[in-house]
Structure 1
Amino acid sequence: MTALLRAAHAGPALAVVLLAGLLAVADGLGPARIALVVAAVLAGQLSIGWSNDLIDEARDRAVARTDKPLAAGEVSTRTVRVACAVAVVAVVPLSLACGWAAGLVHLVCVGSGWLYNAGLKATAWSWAPYAVAFGALVVFVSLADAPPALPPWWMPLAGALLGVGAHLLNVLPDLDDDAATGVRGLPHRIGARRLPAVATGVLVAGTIVVALGAGLGRPSSLVALAVVAALAVLALTRGGRGPFLAAIGIALTDVVLLLAAG
């Protein structure tokens, strides 16, 4: 069971599920509706994670990825296929149970993840599924409310920037293995040396969007801008893992600010 969960990219999946749950709480959804939103997002993220490892199985074996349970033989291909199929079957009714509009938006989020796995990850457009999925996730949670309502324009934009930043950071540890198997998405074209700085810039832009949308005079906006400015300086002046860790800090600050604004 542990290997199967790891094959679903449990860490990133749970991060997205937690973000959706916190957004639902910030939007004032009731307990039952929050549980439904979380269940739908969990099913979608599991399907994306498992499909990623299924599609990449041959590539992962070629570079001896010991961190991938499927490639390492810790779980069978059939088991992952069955689990992925169950998640796909579950995500449709769970999404639509949140409302037709909300459900369709969430299925766009899931479809974006599948398109990334199916080939966009190897192109200069690798960032697009992340932008669509994270931006649409904010819309999905807002539409899942009763009555449904669209969020202010700046919230999906901030979510999209957060998604692109997350993509740039998430790929950083896998650049060499990806290059060895012919994957050249946007992060690979930017290069490992410049990637943390570019990710930092994207995430800082997300912070500015949320601060402007929520109101620059709010204490949370001022604190977030000060924290992000300090982290950005560290990202641009420090070597080693400093830029990467600073970019992660900016991403977390963006999430907190987005939730506070909701």
Structure 2
Amino acid sequence: MREPSTTTGPGRAAPRDPAPRVAPGRTLAGMVRASHAGPTVVVTGLATALAAGLAAPPRTVLLVLVVVLAGQLSIGWSNDWLDAARDRAVARADKPVVAGAVTARLLRGAAAAAVVVSVLASLPTGVLAAGAHLVAVAAGWAYNLGLKATAASWLPYALAFALLPGFVVLALPGPGRPAGWLLAVGALLGVGAHLANVLPDLEDDAATGVRGLPHRLGRRAASVLAPAVLAVAVVVAVLGPPGPPRAAAATVGVVAVLVGVVAGLVGLRRGRSRAPFTLAMVVAVLCVVVLGLSGTSRAVV
């Protein structure tokens, strides 16, 4: 019997080349990058550390880790999935979808699966805790789905960052509730992180029609406001807990505020510099240090 001919001729369609296959290792690396690994690891680590600092049982600490990690993965993956066309339009070769490491369809499925895992894992923490975390994740998705392009782009960050420590406290055994000052610090950190996080991508965002609060303020104003908001978060973290401020927390707080002032001055003088973004991140890290030094036990009422 003759082998089927692979030549083309009149009326015969040329065979289609098979779709290019991506090496599994490259796909895995692309999934990690698309998850926005840095912020995902930091937020998950801080939530887990807060649970441990509040003397939560090992089971609760593990649940917090799984719930927050899954929620953050869903937000990161949905961001790159929903932004795939926009990233291609501005040739963002650093994005895994544009680079061909993953597909938008894969990210969509992974984001949906991560939400399911996050919700199911949160149920044992109780109705209030699970509800708080679900709202936090929904806020992240709302940002990705369109709020990022509005003047209210700061709102999902403020809500999500306030609810994350709230979720951790509510997940603890017993009737404790998160202190108001802790929620305020979280909200301020969220707004400051949003303003700083957008700085490196302002031009690419503007080219594709994204006009959130930082874009409307302009690079110079956003570069000054980001560290200013974070510095206020530091002050609240130092003065918010009941009783006199602890010396170590106050000392680190002063350093953080000074770094924030420097970041604001650099933002005024060097509008397109990456220094304000870097310095703002330093202030955010110092704020977290202040939270630890202020005593996590005072975060529960």
TM bracket, shorter-chain basis? over 0.9
SS at the partner of 1:250? helix
Distance 2:105 2:265 in 1: 48
Could you report, residue by residue, the CA deviation over 1:55-107 in whole angstroms, capped at 9, with x for unpaired residues? 11111111111111012221123322221221121111111121111001000
Which of 216, 226, 243 lines up with 2:276 in the alignment? 243
Match of 1:184 in 2: 211
The aligned counterpart of 2:93 is: 66
Q: What whole-Å deviation, never above 9, does each CA across 1:96-122 have from its counterpart, x for those lacking one?
A: 121111001000000000000010000
1:220 partnered with 2:253:
no
Quote the residue 2:69 is aligned against.
Answer: 42
Partner of 1:166: 193
1:79 and 2:130 aligned: no
1:229 maps to which of 249, 257, 263? 257
Task: For residue 165 of structure 1, give the secondary structure of its aligned residue in structure 2.
Answer: helix
Partner secondary structure for residue 71 of structure 1: helix
Which of the pair has more CA radius of gyration?
Answer: 2
Runs of 5+ consecutive residues of structure 2 not aligned to the other structure: 1-27, 297-301
Contact 1:122 1:183 in 2 (8 A): yes
Query: Greater shift after overlay, 215-224 or 105-114?
Result: 215-224
Task: Give the corresponding residue for 2:291.
Answer: 258
Contact 1:20 1:37 (C-alpha < 8 Å) held by counterparts:
yes
CA deviation map 1:151-194 (0-9, x unaligned): 11100000100011111111111111100000000111111122
- 3-state SS of 2:219 partner: coil
Secondary structure of 2:262's counterpart equals helix
Amino acid in structure 2 at the alignment position of 1:213: G
Q: Which amino acid aligns with 1:202?
A: V
The corresponding residue for 2:173 is: 146
1:195 aligns with 2:222: yes
- The alpha-carbon deviation at position 48 of structure 1 amounts to 0.7
What's the CA shift for 1:216? 4.7
Tell me which amino acid in the other structure corresponds to 1:217.
P
Q: How does 1:87-102 map to 2 (within 5 A)?
A: 87-102=114-129
Aligned residues: 262
Shift of 1:213: 1.3
Q: Residue 17 of structure 1: CA displacement?
A: 0.4
- Residue 250 and residue 171 in structure 1: after superposition, are their counterparts in 2 closer, same or farther (change >3 A)? same
Distance 2:150 2:293 in 1: 35
Q: Could you tell me the percent identity over the aligned residues?
A: 51
Alignment of 1:8-27 (within 5 A): 8-27=35-54
**Most deviating of 36-45 and 92-101:** 92-101
Q: Tell me, in whole angstroms, the C-alpha distance in 1 between the residues paired with 2:57 and 2:40.
A: 23
Partner of 2:29: 2
Question: Residues 191, 73 of structure 1: CA spacing in aligned structure 2 closer, same or farther, 3 A cutoff?
Answer: same
Structure 1 unaligned residues grouped into runs of 5+: none
Superposed displacement of residue 148, structure 1: 4.0
Matches of 2:91 and 2:82, distance apart in 1: 15
Alignment partners' CA distance in 2, 1:94 and 1:106: 11
Q: For residues 55 and 193 of structure 1, do their structure 2 counterparts lie closer, same or farther at Cα, with a shift above 3 Å needed?
A: same
**TM superposition score normalised by structure 2:** 0.84
Runs of 4+ in 1 over 6 A off after TM superposition: none
How far is 1:8 from its partner? Answer: 1.3
1:180, 1:74 → 2: CA distance?
Answer: 24
Tell me if the contact between 2:197 and 2:277 (Cα under 8 Å) persists in the aligned partners.
Answer: no
